[in-house]
């Protein structure tokens, strides 16, 4: 089984697991997890090929979901079902996990993604290519990598998010924590969604960002086919990164849904 790294925040018996998106890490949800205390204990998971979790030789949503499910069974969900929140790629993992392991999940929250093929592969190809183009042997400070990315990636916030994946080892050499080669090669898989013949009949909160186009009207039929108890909420003033663009609204929606 792929080794999974996760961080626990909180002491409550009510539990929620967070799954991040492409290039992300569990710690991206630290602010939300702290805000959900004391009602909820959060587990912030690094998905395979990200953060401190192990790398694999390919990307597969079913394998990722099963890996996380096995990890939860051994500890965080050992005493019964937990709540699950997934954003973007992590939202697809969360949906597959709920469909394949419904006994593990009480309530599901899917953030700005749909159970269908996603647009945006070109954008992510550009971002991954820009990171791969950096000669890490010349980097002695993170700011040097930031300087090299300023032309291909002008948005400072996006650069900062991506550079969270750059870590100095014990030998003081910088390396990418994310498995860039595999993620870049398997972008078509990441953009897709597996064909699954199952339904998850527990409550589901489907959150979309007002200015994002990852959740569209044509996605609703398939979403409700797989998750018949879905409630769709649109967060005003948010794009794809709902939890970082409108954190108060995001946490409020989670608290209301998960503690109902």
Which residues are annotated as catalytic? 88, 181, 240
- Interaxial angle between packed helices 89-100 and 61-74, expressed in degrees from 0 to 180 and rounded to the nearest 10: 70
Distance (Å) of CA 133 to CA 43, 67, 185: 33, 31, 15
Concatenate the DSSP letters of all residues of 120-180 into one string. -HHHHHHHHHHHHTS-GGG-SSHHHHHHHHTTT---HHHHHHHHTTEEE-TTS-EEESS-H
Cβ count within 10 A of residue 181: 14
Query: Which structure tokens are listed for 157?
Result: 């916030």
Beta-carbon contacts of 96 under 8 Å, excluding residues fewer than 6 positions away, are 61, 62, 64, 65, 194, 196
SS (H, E, C) 211-243: CCCCCCHHHHHHHHHHCCCEEEEEECCCCCCHH
């Amino acid at each position: 089984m792929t080794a999974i790294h996760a961080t626990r925040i909180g002491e409550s018996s009510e539990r929620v697991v967070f799954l991040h998106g492409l290039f992300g890490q569990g710690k991206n949800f630290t602010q939300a997890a702290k805000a959900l205390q004391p009602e909820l204990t959060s587990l912030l998971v690094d998905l395979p090929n990200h953060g401190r979790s192990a790398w694999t030789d390919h990307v597969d949503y079913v394998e990722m979901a099963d890996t996380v499910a096995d990890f939860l069974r051994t500890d965080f969900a050992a005493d019964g079902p937990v709540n699950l929140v997934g954003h973007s790629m992590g939202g697809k993992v969360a949906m597959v996990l709920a469909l394949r392991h419904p006994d593990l999940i009480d309530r599901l929250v899917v953030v700005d993604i749909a159970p269908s093929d996603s647009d945006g592969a070109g954008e992510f190809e550009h971002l991954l290519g820009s990171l791969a183009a950096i000669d890490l042997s010349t980097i002695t400070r993170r700011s040097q990598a930031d300087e090299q990315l300023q032309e291909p990636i002008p948005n400072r916030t996006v650069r900062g998010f991506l550079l969270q994946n750059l870590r100095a080892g014990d030998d003081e050499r910088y390396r990418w924590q994310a498995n860039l080669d595999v993620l870049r090669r398997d972008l078509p898989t990441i953009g897709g969604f597996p064909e699954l013949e199952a339904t998850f009949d527990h409550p589901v909160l489907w959150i979309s960002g007002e200015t994002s186009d990852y959740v569209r009207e044509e996605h609703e039929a398939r979403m409700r086919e797989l998750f018949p108890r879905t409630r769709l909420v649109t967060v005003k003033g948010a794009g794809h990164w709902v939890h970082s663009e409108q954190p108060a609204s995001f946490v409020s929606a989670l608290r209301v849904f998960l503690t109902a």
